[in-house]
A = this chain, B = another copy of it.
Amino acid sequence: MFPYQPQVHQYPYSNNQLMPHGYYNSPYSDGGWLWQQNTWASDESYRMHPQQRLCFVLVHGSWADAHFWDGIAEVLRRNGHVVYTPEYAGHGSDPNKNVTHAMITKSVVDFITKQDLCDIILVGHSFGGTVIQKVSEQVSDRIKRLVFWDAFVLKDGESLSDELPPQTKQAFEQLRASSKDDTIMLPFPLFRDLFVNTASLEEAESIYSGVAPEPAKPLFEKLNLKVFYALPTPKSYVYFYQDGVLPQGEGFGWNPHMSIRLGLFRLIVGDGDHMTDSRTRPAMVAQKLYEAGRD
Contact = CB atoms under 8 A, between A and B. Distances in A.
Interface stretch (A8-16, A61-69, A82-90, A94-102): A8-16
Nearest to A259: B247
B250 A11 contact: no
Contacts of A260: 165, 247, 250
A194 B268 CA distance: 10
Contacts of A294: 200-201
B249 A256 contact: yes
Nearest to A197: B266
A269 to B, nearest CB: 5
Number of this chain's copies in the assembly equals 3
B264 A190 contact: yes
B242 A267 contact: yes
A15 to B, nearest CB: 7
A11 to B, nearest CB: 6
Given A187-B16, A188-B24, A5 B269 contact: no
B263 A167 contact: yes
A190 B13 contact: yes
Contacts of A248: 249, 255-256
A198 B247 contact: no
A235 to B, nearest CB: 9
Interface in A262-280: 263-269, 271, 273
Contacts of A253: 249, 256
A157 interface: no
B3 A250 contact: yes
Given A3-B250, A15-B187, A264 B200 contact: no
A250 B256 contact: yes
Q: Which of A200, A243, A255 has the most CB of B within 10 A?
A: A200
